[in-house]
Structure 1
Amino acid sequence: MTAYSVRFRNKSKNQGSVLMYQKGVDIDAPDAQSLAWFSKGANPGTNVTFRWTIDYSFVWSEIGELTPGVVFNANQVVDTDLKKRNAITLTRNESGYVFKDQSDSEPGVLHIYQDETIPYHGASVGIGMSGNGTFAVPSQPKLTALFTPHPKYYMAFSLKHIQEGQILDIDQITNAVEIPFPPSCYFVDVELDETNTWHVTPLPNANGFPIKG
């Protein structure tokens, strides 16, 4: 499986959190929210590296009200694929919520059916990539949440501490930059300079970083 890497170099005067999140996922469910996919602290003069593979998962959390700042902590993560085993059901029994009945469905779409035991906004469901959540929606009974991924990757720098899984207010992120991966490129160098300007450089043959897994 192909591995992707992004190296962030903090050449600014600020300490804070560097985070990555995704766009480019069509979501057929109300109140969908973007999550901080990856996040790490970064002091001036330090480097941070994020690595991932494009492997999807189903996730759910007992957090039901998804408002900016709330952290989506996945209670269960189930591996999935866009071509097979891409449908699953969330149910609730005397021990709590749980995924069940994973099966094949329409290729290219990830399906999460919430059965009649699921309370309105009592929990949340979503999808993840490389083990971390990317998008979530509040639960609703007898509703299927559909996610059609064609992801685009973004990086931002926050002076505030941002946790992985934290609900983001995308409209309030003003300094984000898209991280492109041209054909045959699996490593991107990203610098934030002293003027808080981004410099993004894809490096197809970067020595010492994984090009293919």
Structure 2
Amino acid sequence: MGQDSDATPGGATTAKTDATADARPGSAAPSDAPAATYTLTFRNDSTRQGSFVIYQRLPEVNQPDVMSLAWLVKPTPPGVSDTFTWSADYSFFWSSVPSASEPLTGVKVEASEAVPAGLRQLNQIRLHRADGAFMFMDQATGQPPGALIIEADGTVPEREALMGIGMSGLGTAVVRAEPNMRVVFTPRPGYFVTFGTFQQGEVLDLASLVGAHEVAFPDNVTNAMVTLDDRNGLTVAYA
């Protein structure tokens, strides 16, 4: 999908959306510390039709061409507020490649399998293919701590799958899987919002996004509101 994201940070009707599955710096694995829960409310005080989207700062990755996904998306008509709630639990996921062509910008990526992960425990997993089917196996605690590691073994063909990490059960960043490939994702927590035409899981062209705004939660603050005003500007307030 194309990005109509003319936004820089204003509804009567309120709808709530939960991004099921806790999210924040690393905890889905039971041995990691509990994750904080965050709430972000969007309010459309403009006359524009479209969706608010949250995407995350790209992790440090030891492979080129990491792609950012539209993480949380909610259509928000004029005069409407929508609330997203998540806790920062990480996960691994893989997806069949919907297209072998490049680039994948605008292509919707849907997880075929997702496995909870921690940043210090159960932070490594292997992608394998048998009888024509991809699967995760051999989840373990790997090195370095603080990273999420996916190893594609020699059974994985080129350009037929994507593998990446997610939060709250939804993908945030992916790379193309190749045989005998070890990918180390080191998360750099950060949330960004914009408004336009998006679909959940869409591969974003970050360079083309106009007016994206970072939501930087201060220490001990887990609630924020983003308002799109009548001049198509985005503002962020923390509570």
Q: Establish whether TM, by shorter chain, passes 0.5.
A: yes
Instruction: Give yes or no for the alignment of 1:31 onto 2:65.
Output: yes
Q: What residue in structure 2 maps to residue 157 of structure 1?
A: 195
Change (3 A) 1:75 1:24: closer
Which of the numbers 76, 88, 92 marks the counterpart of 1:42? 76
Instruction: Give yes or no for the alignment of 1:188 onto 2:214.
Output: no
> Is 2:44–2:229's contact at 8 Å kept on the other side of the alignment?
yes
What stretches of structure 1 move > 2 A for 4+ residues in a row? none
| Deviation (angstroms), 1:24 | 4.6
| Deviation (angstroms), 1:30 | 2.3
Q: What is the root-mean-square deviation of aligned Cα atoms in Å?
A: 1.1
Higher strand share: 1
Instruction: Give yes or no for the alignment of 1:117 onto 2:155.
Output: yes
> Is 2:225–2:238's contact at 8 Å kept on the other side of the alignment?
yes
Instruction: Give yes or no for the alignment of 1:21 onto 2:44.
Output: no
* 2:226 partner SS: strand
Q: What residue in structure 2 maps to residue 208 of structure 1?
A: none
Instruction: Give yes or no for the alignment of 1:201 onto 2:230.
Output: no
| 2: CA distance, partners of 1:75 / 1:149 | 22
> Matched residues, percent identical?
38
Q: What residue in structure 1 maps to residue 92 of structure 2?
A: 58
Instruction: Give yes or no for the alignment of 1:79 onto 2:116.
Output: yes
Q: What residue in structure 2 maps to residue 207 of structure 1?
A: none
* 2:207 partner SS: helix
* 1:20 partner SS: strand
| 2: CA distance, partners of 1:138 / 1:155 | 25
| Deviation (angstroms), 1:57 | 0.2
1:138-160 Cα distance to aligned partner (Å, 9 max, x none)? 011001111001211000100x2
When the two structures are aligned, how many residues end up with a matched partner? 201
| 2: CA distance, partners of 1:156 / 1:198 | 8
Give TM-score scaled by structure 1 length.
Answer: 0.92
> Is 2:58–2:68's contact at 8 Å kept on the other side of the alignment?
no
Q: What residue in structure 2 maps to residue 173 of structure 1?
A: 209
Which of the numbers 92, 104, 123 marks the counterpart of 2:129? 92
| 1: CA distance, partners of 2:66 / 2:132 | 27
| 2: CA distance, partners of 1:42 / 1:138 | 32
> Is 2:58–2:173's contact at 8 Å kept on the other side of the alignment?
no
> Is 1:180–1:202's contact at 8 Å kept on the other side of the alignment?
no
Q: What residue in structure 1 maps to residue 16 of structure 2?
A: none
> Is 1:57–1:129's contact at 8 Å kept on the other side of the alignment?
yes
1:10-45 Cα distance to aligned partner (Å, 9 max, x none)? 011101011000015111122210000000101001
1:65-106 Cα distance to aligned partner (Å, 9 max, x none)? 461110111000000000110000000001500000000012
Q: What residue in structure 1 maps to residue 30 of structure 2?
A: none
Give TM-score scaled by structure 2 length.
Answer: 0.82
Instruction: Give yes or no for the alignment of 1:5 onto 2:39.
Output: yes
